[in-house]
Amino acid sequence: MSVTTKTLGLIAGAVTAITASMTHAQDLAGKTVEFVIPFSESGGSARWANFYAPLLSEELPGNPTVVVRYRPGAGSTEGANWFQEQTTDDGTLVFGTSGSTQFPYLLGDPRVRYEYGDWQAVLASGTGGVVFLPPDLGAKFDGDFDDLSEEFLLYGSQGATTLDLVPLLAFNMLGLQVDPVFGIKGRGDGRLMFERGEANIDYQTSSAYLASVVPLVEQGLAVPAFTFGALDEAGAIVRDPTFPDMPSFKEVCEATAACETEGVAWDAWKAFFISGFAAQKMVYLPSTASPEVVAMYEQAFRDIMARPDFANLAAEELGVYPQLTGDAGRGASDQATQVTDEAREFVLNWLNEAYGVTME
C-alpha cells in the first residue's frame, strides 16, 4: 500500500468514526432521557421541568421519551451531589437546578460536594417570585408593611440557605416577625401549609404562582403583596413583567419605615436575588457529555424557543422571562454561581444571628 493510499485510508476511517460519533450523539430514537430535579413534584421546579420535558421530546433528534425524575432532600443538595457523580455521556441524563441548589454552593455549605464548574449548562431560565398573605392580613397591607410589624407570621421553609433565603431576608428587612418552619421538601409543600392555615405568609415562584395560587386569589383565599421584581438592562430592580400590576420588593421596601434600599443589606439581597431569580433555573449535562451532545441540546432548546407558539406557552406556564442557551446560557450560569465576598459575609452573619445557621 502506498503512503498516500494508506494516509487516505486513515483519514477516511477517522471521518467515518467522527461521523458515527456525531450520528450517535444526535440520535436518541428509542431512548429515555431522564430530566432529574432535586425537588419534590409539587413546586415551581417541577412545573418548569414538566413544561420543557415534552418540548424536548419533540425537538431532540429521534424524539426520545423525556421523563422528569424527582430526587428531593437536604434543600436540593442531595440530588446535586448525586448528579456530580454521574458519568452518563450519551445525552440520556440532564439535571435541573434552582437557586436552592446554588445558594448552598455560594455560601460554602459543607453538605455541598458538587462543583458547578464541572457541569455543562445548556439552558438558563429567569423567573420571578410572588409573596402573598391570607385575607385577614392582606386587608392590612396597603403598599407597606408598617401595619403588619406586630403580627406573628409563620412561613413554611425548605431551609435558610435554600432559595428561601431571598424571602426570609426580605421579611427581615421589612421588620416582620416571621417564624420559619424549616424542613419542607419543596415550595409546593409551603403552599399546602398556607392552604391548610398552618402558615400565614408564603411565596411561590412565578410558574407555581400562576398555576396554584392565582386560583386561591380568585377565590378570595389569598392576597398578593409584592413580587421580588426583575432586572432591567441597566441592572436596576423594576416590576416583574409577568405581574406588572404588583409592586416590586424595592417599592414595598421604600414604602416601609423599617426597610432601606441602600447599604450592605440591600446589596446582599440584590446579589442573591440575581442568583436565585434573575438567572434561577438551569439545565446541565454531566461533565462527561461530549461536545456533540452539548450542541445537540443547545440546538434543541433553540428549536423550542423558535416555535411559533413558544412565547404564549411560556408566558402561560413560566411567566415572561429570558430563556437562554449557548454562550448566553453559559454566561448566565457563571453569573448565577458567583457572589461578592462582602455580600456572602453579610448573609453568613445574618444567618448565624437570626437562625443559628453556620456553614461549619
Task: Give me the helix-helix angle, 264-273 and 341-355, nearest 10°.
Answer: 100
Contact criterion met (CB below 8 Å) for 197 and 230 = no
Residue 3 lies in a domain: no
User: Looking at the structure, do residues 144 and 287 belong to the same domain, yes or no?
Assistant: no
Say which CATH number the domain at 169 has.
3.40.190.10
Task: Supply the range of the domain harboring residue 314.
Answer: 24-126+281-336
User: Looking at the structure, do residues 304 and 191 belong to the same domain, yes or no?
Assistant: no
SS3 333: helix
User: Looking at the structure, do residues 68 and 171 belong to the same domain, yes or no?
Assistant: no
For 256-284, how does the pLDDT look when each residue is reduced to its tens digit (9 = 90+)? 999 999 999 999 999 899 889 988 899 99
**% pLDDT > 90, the chain:** 71
pLDDT of residue 115: 96
User: Looking at the structure, do residues 160 and 309 belong to the same domain, yes or no?
Assistant: no
Considering Cα of 79, then 102, then 179, then 207, what sign does the dihedral take? negative
Considering Cα of 198, then 141, then 354, then 101, what sign does the dihedral take? positive
Interatomic CA distance for residues 354 and 360, integer angstroms: 16
Confidence of residue 89 (pLDDT cuts 50, 70, 90): very high
As a dihedral over the C-alpha atoms of residue 145, residue 148, residue 149, residue 155, rounded to 10 degrees, the angle is -100
pLDDT of residue 5: 42
pLDDT of residue 126: 87
Interatomic CA distance for residues 9 and 32, integer angstroms: 36
User: Looking at the structure, do residues 71 and 145 belong to the same domain, yes or no?
Assistant: no
Number of structural domains in the chain: 2
For 272-319, how does the pLDDT look when each residue is reduced to its tens digit (9 = 90+)? 998 899 888 999 999 999 999 999 999 999 999 999 999 999 988 888
Cα 268 vs. chain centroid, distance in angstroms? 18
pTM of the predicted model as reported, rounded to 2 decimal places? 0.75
Residues 6+ positions from 73 with CB-CB distance below 8 Å: 38, 79, 185
Residue 63 lies in a domain: yes
Say which CATH number the domain at 61 has.
3.40.190.150
Q: DSSP 3-state helix, strand, coil percentages of the chain (rounded to 5)? A: 50, 15, 35
User: Looking at the structure, do residues 345 and 214 belong to the same domain, yes or no?
Assistant: yes
User: Looking at the structure, do residues 101 and 225 belong to the same domain, yes or no?
Assistant: no
Confidence of residue 43 (pLDDT cuts 50, 70, 90): confident
User: Looking at the structure, do residues 215 and 93 belong to the same domain, yes or no?
Assistant: no
